Amino acid sequence: MATIKYTYLFNQGNRGMRNLLGGKGAGLAYMANKGLPVPPGFTITTQACNEYYDNDCKIWPELQQQIDESLKIIEEQTGKEFGGKTNPLLVSVRSGAPISMPGMMDTVLNLGLNDETVEVLAKLTNNRRFALDSYRRFIQIFSDVVCQIDRDKFEDVLDSIKAKFNQKMDNELTEESLDVVIKEYKVLFKKEMNADFYQDVRVQLKMAIEAVFESWQNERAIIYRNLHGMSHTMGTAVNVQSMVFGNFSDTSGTGVLFTRNPVTGDNKIFGEFLINAQGEDVVAGIRTPMPLDKLKDVMPEVYDELSQIVKKMEISYKDVQDVEFTIENGRLFFLQTRSAKRTAMAALKIAIDMYNEGIIDKITALTRVDPEQVEQLLHPTFDSETLKDLHPISKGLPASPGAANGQIYLDAKTVAKKSGEGKDTILVRHETTPDDIEGMIHCHAVVTSTGGMTSHAAVVARGMGRTCIVGCQNIDIDYKTRTVKIGEKTYHEGDWISVDGATGSVYDGKLETKSNVVPEQFTILMEWANEYALMEVRANADNPEDAQKALDFGAVGIGLCRTEHMFFGEERIYDMQRMILADDKETRIDALEKLYPYQKEDFKGIYRVMKELPSNIRLLDPPLHEFLPKTEADVEKLSKKINVSIEKINERSKALEEVNPMLGHRGCRLAVTYPEIYEMQVRAIVNAAVEVNEELNINIVPHIKIPLITGSTELIRLRKLIEDTIVAELDKLNAKLDYEIGIMIETPRACLRAEDLAELSDFFSFGTNDLTQMTYGFSRDDFSKFSNEYISKKLLPVDPFQTLDDLGVGKFIKMATDAARLKNPKMKVGICGEHGGDPESILICYKYGLDYVSCSPYRISLAKLVVAQATAFKLLSINDR
């Protein structure tokens, strides 16, 4: 039987061996194979980790032997000896799983130091302080991550010695004090472990390797894997790498470089370095590093070698590299290279430049920009110079990006009025409700004192691209005196503030905003994205203006047109309220008749913009009590207006009150009780479509969507109601019209019964807000009371109302989509609502084969880019095979 290979020298592996060597090991192998000067080392495989667990958590002789053999080769390659007395080999030990994950063991550096080798190192580097400091750090880290001794205990020792020597910062520690620190550390170690600090370097190494293996099963790592649905049987690899020293001599040094400018994207190497120094010195900020150009003067050969290699690396990795290098006695080593972080502007420029230079293809270029980041380029901002010296007067959650200034007004009506007079307005309220929509349309920004990222204000503002900050806790609004106290200062209506929706900061006074000019590269990129966006992107739009915006941004349809917002207009709301207060069907129908012409015009407006593009109109969804007035004053006003007694209004309000309105009398349940509501809406849709078809000589196919369906009996009844109404209406008009009737999938039961429902529906549209609420049993309105606790304690990876819960709601989406396609392989399935504009959620929809996502018009570019990238990644992974 052939021996199993448990250790790979860096040059024995390759990039494809990620599962066996881990991500880090595969990367090191790649560099080594490309001939880059990498400090020699080897990787212990993930398979070894798994066998370690099968082997009572002990390193068995065969594995030990391979480790010893690999170490011997490293000694030969470096000319150093592990634990040696003339030129001791020091190594780093690092974990490296196939998928990067937190919770695993940290790096142990300088392993191989003991009471003897530390003095050899002191002589070799001619820097005893450095050697001692390395040793004390090693003892500290080893004790912490390998021996699990509480790190605070070492910090306490260090602090007391610093105090004694009157040294404040770590870098002020002298040789003398470090000698004491090491002595005391060893005492502490003995007390904790009942053993002397390990002087045998091979014992050090063995223990460090075991500690990496063990860390695979520590609690944080297990929780992380559970949270992300990752397998517990992958195991981790261990990387053992020889250390190099940039502080060896004056022909030594260390530095960091980017192969292109990460801020502007300019194609020019950009970096810094320090002579006779270790990486830490750069981080500690004691010495100021020199620009990389200077290296040309100091060590011209090294500079030439460096600049040639890194350009080759860029081509080889096909991306801008962020490279750490060290020079040890004139010899260049690469410690790490990775793709460089960059600004949105740089990302755009680099992607398109590299395509033009022939380094990457169009598909790859598409994957090189972060959609979320690029989207920011489209919103106005404040000048960063201006902001530098300003303190925000309040900080809230950045609910909707953009920068705006304006005068404070405290209710929607005043905002609408003042805007009409030409004023710049900002709506400031505790929170917003559907009553405030008109104000939100007219203001420059919305600021609320309560609510979270998924509150009404946040959702609606993002939907209309309005700058918005929510949950500003230090804002105290007094509606009676019409004043706002922010911090210590009291503002009156008409006072100016400025609002940065990207950061959640509110500033005093009027700050100038600047529009970001959409860069030419963005336009190019979006053209490419269109070629590869294989999943449709539609928009949520409830009126002709939004529909037009959606088209401008490139939407190919309306995924969700809510009809409830249409009833909040000045005059219509009274008819809506009359309808709700009606005692009998006749009065109800009479009020609905008054609403009918408005509804028809609403739909005509949208159809005139969208023409033949699909526009999914959702029939009335919210519970009726949402439309009734909430304050005494409003009740009184309504009573006068429609001539219904105050008692009657209050009585009906009380009767409609619900303990759990989310799970109450709403959605299609309204139409089961009051079919005349949907009848009116359907009549309006049919007449609007027929009239616009005639007007523009086109062929609109209405898409009608029924909310909150729970099963087929409900759907049979309502589909019949809708179809009968359509047929009767067309009969009356003597017209023809194709139409589609689909449903919202919002209840868990709809997901479970998707197969039956698919037989009765022309399309499915997931309403993932409600579905998330019911899947978790989280009320979106109440979730904020404990969500922070859940997210900070890692009980939830993210807010499931912002990013789809793949393991729960995602499983439902897959289940329902698969079941529907079994019945009807061509079934159109999409999602609408907040998740449709969230990149991670869009990828989940793509994964499960949805036909479209629908999002706010302002998120369409982002969504398209995300979809194009998903396609690109898929194509790239196919090419990889």
Give the catalytic positions in this structure: 456, 832
Interface positions with a second copy (CB under 8 A): 222-223, 226-227, 658-665, 669, 672-673, 708, 710-714, 716-717, 746-749, 752-753, 756, 770, 773-779, 781-782, 785-786, 789-790, 793-796, 805, 807-808, 811-812
Strand duo 852-855 + 536-540: pairing? parallel
* CA 652 centroid distance within chain: 44
Contact call for residues 459 and 478 (beta carbons, < 8 A): no
Contact call for residues 97 and 104 (beta carbons, < 8 A): yes
- Name the minimum Å distance from CB 782 to a second copy: 4
- Name the minimum Å distance from CB 815 to a second copy: 9
What span, in angstroms and rounded, lies between the C-alpha atoms of 29 and 48? Answer: 18
Q: Left, alpha or beta for 643 (phi > 0: left; psi -120 to 50: alpha)?
A: left
User: What is the per-residue DSSP string for 51-99?
Assistant: HHHHTTT---HHHHHHHHHHHHHHHHHHT-EET-SSSEE-EEEEEE-SS
Nearest to 396 by CA among 451, 445, 437: 451
* 547 DSSP β-pair partners: none
Residue 606 corresponds to which amino acid?
I
Backbone angles phi, psi at 705, to 5 degrees: -120, 130
- Name the minimum Å distance from CB 461 to a second copy: 20
Q: Of 390 and 672, which has the nearer Cβ to a second copy?
A: 672
CB contact burial 196-205 (16+ within 10 A = b; e otherwise): ebbeebeebb
Cα dist. 80→83, 134, 243, 570 in Å? 9, 18, 11, 84
User: What is the per-residue DSSP string for 234-293?
Assistant: S--EEEEEE---TTSSTT-EEEEEESS-TTT--SS-EEEEEES--HHHHHHTSSPPEEGG
Sign of the torsion formed by the C-alpha atoms of 856, 861, 866 and 867: positive
Contact call for residues 730 and 737 (beta carbons, < 8 A): yes
Q: Of 604 and 618, which has the nearer Cβ to a second copy?
A: 618
* 429 DSSP β-pair partners: 448
Q: Left, alpha or beta for 138 (phi > 0: left; psi -120 to 50: alpha)?
A: alpha
User: What would you measure as the largest C-alpha separation in the chain, in angstroms?
Assistant: 103
For residue 143, give the DSSP letter. Answer: I
Nearest to 629 by CA among 615, 603, 649, 609: 649
- Name the minimum Å distance from CB 719 to a second copy: 12
User: What is the per-residue DSSP string for 714-778?
Assistant: HHHHHHHHHHHHHHHHHHHHT-----EEEEEE-SHHHHHTHHHHHTT-SEEEEEHHHHHHHHHT-
Q: Of 245 and 812, which has the nearer Cβ to a second copy?
A: 812
- At residue 323, the 3 state secondary structure works out as strand
Which pair of structure tokens corresponds to residue 508? 């005093």
Backbone angles phi, psi at 376, to 5 degrees: -60, -30
Contact call for residues 447 and 506 (beta carbons, < 8 A): yes
Q: Of 298 and 815, which has the nearer Cβ to a second copy?
A: 815
- Name the minimum Å distance from CB 213 to a second copy: 22
